Every structure is written in C-alpha cells, then in structure tokens.
Amino acid sequence: LLGMAAGQIQAQTGQFWSEADQDFLLQTQKSLRDVYPQQFRSLALDLPALRNYLKKAPMEFSAEAKKKPLLLDLPLPDGRWETFELVESPVLKPGLAAKYPSIKTYSARGLHDRSLTAHFDYTPKGFHAMIRTERGFAYIDPLALDQTEYYMAYYPADYDLESLDLPPMACGTTEIADDPIASEFDLPETPGQKSAETPVDLRVYDLAMSCTGEFAIAQGSTVELVLATMATIVNRNNEIFLSEAAFKFELIENNDLLVYLNPATDPFPNANLGFEILDLATAAITSIVPAVNFDVGHVLTLGCIDGIAGVASAGATCGQNKARGMTCFGTSNIDFIVVNVMAHELGHQFSALHSWSNCPNSPAGQLESGEAFEPGSGSTIMSYAGSCGDQNLQFSANDYFHVGSLDDIVPFTLQGNGNICPDIVPTENHYPEVSLLYENGFYIPISTPFELNAIGEDVDGDQLTYCWEQHDLGPTAPLGMPIGDGPSFRSLPPTTASNRYFPRLSFILNNDSGPHEVLPTYSRNLTFRCTVRDNSPEAGGVAWEEVKFKATAEAGPFLVTSPNTAGVVWKGGEQVEVSWDVANTDNSLVNCQQVDILLSTDGGNTWPYTLANATPNTGSAIVFVPDLSTSQARIRVQASQNVFFDLSNFNFQIEPADEAGYS
C-alpha cells in the first residue's frame, strides 16, 4: 500500500463504531468469554453497514489497490482512532471464497502513521482485527460469543496471565526434517544482509487445514462456522509472517472437505492426544486432498492432555512430511493460542527451532543447544514463555521471532526446501538496509553499562523498527547467572529507536538490576545483532547486522564518582569538577584514551548538552555549567571511541547564573 493524495483515495467512511457501556454489556450479554482483559475498550459496531462498505475494497496487488485504496477508521484500546488504507487480502482460495462469501479478509496500513499495519476480517462470527502498534499488537474481537454487535479493543498485555489456568505451552518438536536442498545450497550472502535495490517477493503457501470433530463442535458444528474460525486464525498468522518473513497462507480450494464435524467419524479417535493427531495428520489430509495440491498442512483440536500444546515436523514445508503440524486450542482466547502456540508450530514447519535456553519443566529433548539464544524461558515466538517456572521471563510470548529464528526461516524460504512449492508474487517493496559503525573485536570493561546503535535506511520510506538482540550460545544456566558465553540479555520488542541500552535505561537510572539483563562480571565474548523491519503489509523486508566484542575483567567497573550524591547544586556559569573511576579502561585492551561528558536536564532520558568532548580519560575534568534551571540534572561519562558509559546515580540541581552573560 502506498500513501496517496486525498483525491486519489476512496472517500472516508462515516463512523461505523460507537462507544458502548462496558458494565452494562458484561451484565446483560450471554455467552461471555472465559476471561477478559483487566482493561479494554467497549464498542458497538454496525456490522451490516460495514460489510456493505467493504464491498468497495480493491483486491490486493491490483491497479486499483495502488491508486485508490479504501479508507476505514479503526479504534485502538487507548481511545484513539486511526485511519487505515485497506485492500481485500483473501485467505480463502477463489473457489473456496466463492462458496463461502460470508467470509472476507483484509489487510491495511495506517494512512498517517505508516508504522501501523492490520489484518482484519468479517465472518458469520463477527468482526476481528489484529493491529500492529508501537505497544505491540492490539486486537478487536466480539465482546461476547454468539453475537456480532458489541466488541472489545484490547492489548494482550492487559490479561492477567499469571493468575489464569492456562494450558501447558510445551511443544513436542525435537528435530529438524531432512532438508537436502538447504544443506547443500551455498548461500551467496548472509541472509540478513540485503541490498536496498533488492525487491521483496511475497511467497504464498497453500495451507490444508483440518480439524477434529470436537474442535468443529466448539466452533458451531457447521462447515461455514469452522471455516470462519480458521479464516480468523490464518489471517492473524499472516499478520505475523508477512512482516517477519514475507510469506502468507491461503486455505486451499477444497479445504471445506477437511472440516470434520463428527467426533465419532473423524480420523482422529483421540482428539486430546497431540502426538497421535500429528501421526494421523498426513493420512487424514491426503486421503481427501492429493499431496500435490497443498504446500503445508495443519490440524486444529481442543486442549491436549499429553503434555503439549502443539507439535510439528520441523523444516517439513514442501516436503513429504508437510502435513505434520497441529495445534491444541486449550482456551477460547484465539490470539493467545495464535502467538504462543500456532505461530510457534508453523515456525517449526518452516525450520525454526526452540530459542529458549533454560526451562526445567520442559520434556526431554526440547532444548536446542545450537539455537538457545534467549536466557531462561525466552520471550519470542519460538520460546517457552510462561512454561518454565522460575525461569520465566514473562507469561506469554511476544509476537515476533528472535533473529536466531529468522536466520532459520529466511534462508529456508528463500533458498531451501521452503522455496520449492510457494507461489511467488513480485511486490514493489524493497529490503531495508542496516549498518553498524563498529569494528569487531573491541573490548569493554566488566560491570559497566553500554549502548549499541544502528543506522537503518529504506528506499521506500517505510517506518523502520529496530530490535537489538544477543546472539550468543553457552551452557544452560539459571536466569541472572550466565555461564561462559551464554545468553545474558533478553530480547525486547522492536521499536522505532535505533539504539538499545544494556541494561535498559530505566534500570540504570534507578541503580537497579535484574536477572533478565546481566552485565558481564567476568571476561567473555559478546555478540549482538540488530534486526531492522520495514513492516510492509504486502511483504515485509527484514535485514540484520552483527557486531562481536569482548568484556575483560582487567578493566571495570567504570563509574561516575562526582557528582554522584543527593543534594548536589550547581550554578550556571561556574566551573565544576566531574570525576570518574577510570578502572583501568585506559589499558591496552580497552584502550579508552578519551571520554565525553554529557549533561541531561530531564533525569537521564535525553542528553542535549556536551560539557566536554574527547577529554583525556584521566578520571577528572573541569567543565563549565550551562546557564539553565533544572532539578533533574544527570551526568554521563562515556568512552569517546567505544560503547560503554556510566551515569551519575542521583538527580541534582542546576540554578541559573547570578550574573547575565553566561550560557
């Protein structure tokens, strides 16, 4: 989707939405959900009017879609309204869509805020939306089941997941399928490095999705209602995989024949045994659909009792085991299962393995020592977030892949077995570029914060997001106590900021620490990658770059020593001394000969004043105080030609100069 002048875009719709009384709805609606977010926005929708309006939506990739996308306002949980450009983006193949015209799916991008993308649908079960925002995904879903008039807009983070009785999120996948093409293919370049002139091709995989009779009963016991749920599930997975790896799924032409309505006659005698369903999946699907008619298969059921929430054959897409994938929907909370289970299992089917490094509750064989880049449970899609007891980073997975997982998925789809079978659609999007202004092999002192920066560029002008992640492997270790070169910093969701502080700035400012981000306390190797995403709704471009350096116990911790107490007062125009503990950072390894001294007036969030530039790293310097007034001053002393720094521990005061003429 391209931003268009107002005259080129179909006229803005009137308001289909209105605010609704939340308390009244929760008291009067039947078929309430099992659980609700702790806070959400309640809305009423004129769905018939919206359906009629959406008939004007152009088909994706059509000339009309490029020239005249349709506009629609969507509500966000925080009370905002955002206008989106939208196109029809089918998840049902044309013949299947013609048989079930009540199911329609769309993709969209923010008109004014281009970082916003969305996938939404309307079906006999109502309206459903998944919107990518700066806070992660927001969702719009029916407030109660079995009705299509009232809705809730919410962030998944507002569920109290810790208190919920959620099904176990363990996965049964333990090995990668044979992938002779990928293993023999000599990659011409690191998958994360692409030229800005390289176009992003969309890959479309034909998905054969089946289900148990028990799952069908839970969805309404008709083929149309089951397909409606499947369409919502696939559409939400597409929002993830399009932006992460430039591919999407479409349900095959005769997918309705794979919907088993009767538990007594379906090919899955034990609907709550995930491993058994996996073993039966290929026969269940290929007995109805020839193997040549689909690229990847997946079976849906309700909750499983054999210790898993899903299982799949890894790296099997396009191959003989391509139907071997299944997900247990142990809760009616579809968005939770899509991100935490189904996207995880589909990730396996596209060759990604587990990214967590320590999960005491996991079944034997689940740890992938060559992929365990995340501390503890991990937090990304291929993690075990929420399933690892005291090793949990959080209680559900974030909606993106770790760069280590992307390093599996991207080459698999571009050059491996995953490139054998999809339809390839050219797009006008191009890969972003990312560069790091570092030379590998430098040293930093132990127990000292550091900051990494990247430079991203995009020829299409897309709003880029950045994700700095550690890319180290080592022995299994408890959270907060890494061993050797093992992972010590958790992944954090992508943001529009191109830098990341280690640990997070809030920890540094509060003189705090935690087990999720641990500065090195001994000599070790460190590797970090910055992944840049352009988040294009057509086919997302992703690129990454890597830096390698070392921490040395022969230096550090590097510390600001003055000003570093409460009650300090500086006067504008005065000369004052700033001091720090060099801590052997001027040795031959770290080789920090000069430092910069910066001043913040907002408690350390920004650093607009440079008090000294490239001053000798001797432990003290005399600086002039600018003429200003603040009670939130902080000092930062940073290496001029390195990434480490320290901040003063307390806010202090600066008073204006007594005499005019100072600045």
Question: Minimum mean pLDDT among 18-22, 55-59, 138-142, 614-618: which range?
Answer: 18-22
Question: Which H/E stretch holds residue 501?
Answer: strand 499-502
**Intervals of CATH 3.40.390.10 along the chain:** 202-352+415-423
As a whole number, mean pLDDT of residues 471-484 equals 97
As a whole number, mean pLDDT of residues 548-569 equals 98
Q: Is the pLDDT of residue 170 over 60?
A: yes
pLDDT in tens, 430-474: 999 999 999 999 999 999 999 999 999 999 999 999 999 999 999
As a whole number, mean pLDDT of residues 110-120 equals 93
For residue 500, how many C-alpha atoms fall within 13 Å in the half-sphere facing its CB? Answer: 22
Top-confidence residue, 271 or 166: 271
What is 202-352+415-423's CATH topology?
Collagenase (Catalytic Domain) (3.40.390)
Helix/strand/coil (H/E/C) assignment for every residue in 447-487: CCCEEEECEEECCCCCCCEEEEEECCCCCCCCCCCCCCCCC
The C-alpha atoms of residue 630 and residue 624 are separated, in whole angstroms, by 16
As a whole number, mean pLDDT of residues 514-526 equals 98
The C-alpha atoms of residue 160 and residue 611 are separated, in whole angstroms, by 46
Share the mean pLDDT of the chain. Answer: 91
The 3-state DSSP class for residue 251 equals strand
The C-alpha atoms of residue 131 and residue 343 are separated, in whole angstroms, by 16
Q: What is the pLDDT of residue 197?
A: 79
Distances (CA, A) of 18 to 33, 45, 107, 133, 217: 21, 7, 22, 21, 33
As a whole number, mean pLDDT of residues 223-243 equals 96
pLDDT in tens, 325-382: 999 998 777 878 888 899 999 999 999 999 999 999 888 889 999 999 999 999 999 9
Question: Minimum mean pLDDT among 10-14, 168-172, 492-496, 624-628: which range?
Answer: 10-14
Q: What is the pLDDT of residue 544?
A: 98
Q: Is the pLDDT of residue 21 over 80?
A: yes
Task: Give the residue from 615, 470, 649, 658 showing the smallest Cα distance to 551.
Answer: 470
pLDDT in tens, 373-432: 999 999 999 999 999 999 999 988 999 999 999 999 999 999 999 999 999 999 999 999
Q: What is the pLDDT of residue 176?
A: 54
**Intervals of CATH 2.60.40.10 along the chain:** 427-552, 559-655
Top-confidence residue, 286 or 10: 286
Residues 6+ apart with CB under 8 A from 611: 578, 597, 598, 599, 623, 624, 625, 626, 635
CATH homologous superfamily of 427-552: Immunoglobulins (2.60.40.10)
Task: Give the residue from 460, 432, 466 showing the smallest Cα distance to 1.
Answer: 460
Tokens at 387, concatenated: 């399933």
E strands within 277-344?
296-302, 310-312, 325-329
As a whole number, mean pLDDT of residues 560-570 equals 97
The C-alpha atoms of residue 14 and residue 17 are separated, in whole angstroms, by 9
Residues 6+ apart with CB under 8 A from 490: 374, 375, 376, 378, 379, 393, 516, 517
The 3-state DSSP class for residue 403 equals helix
For residue 636, how many C-alpha atoms fall within 13 Å in the half-sphere facing its CB? Answer: 27
For residue 185, how many C-alpha atoms fall within 13 Å in the half-sphere facing its CB? Answer: 18
Q: What is the pLDDT of residue 591?
A: 98
Under 8 Å between Cβ of 548 and 525: yes
Under 8 Å between Cβ of 179 and 530: no
As a whole number, mean pLDDT of residues 611-617 equals 99
Under 8 Å between Cβ of 435 and 455: yes
Top-confidence range, 62-76, 186-200, 398-412: 398-412
Where do we find the tokens 């010590």?
488
pLDDT level of residue 163 (50, 70, 90 thresholds): low
Under 8 Å between Cβ of 237 and 346: yes
Distances (CA, A) of 152 to 75, 143, 160, 171, 467: 10, 5, 16, 30, 30
CATH among 2.60.40.10, 2.60.120.380, 3.50.50.60, 3.30.460.20 for 559-655: 2.60.40.10
Task: For the full predicted model, state whether its pTM sits above 0.85.
Answer: yes
The C-alpha atoms of residue 241 and residue 132 are separated, in whole angstroms, by 13
Q: What is the pLDDT of residue 1?
A: 38
Q: What is the pLDDT of residue 2?
A: 36
Q: Is the pLDDT of residue 126 over 60?
A: yes
The C-alpha atoms of residue 207 and residue 349 are separated, in whole angstroms, by 12
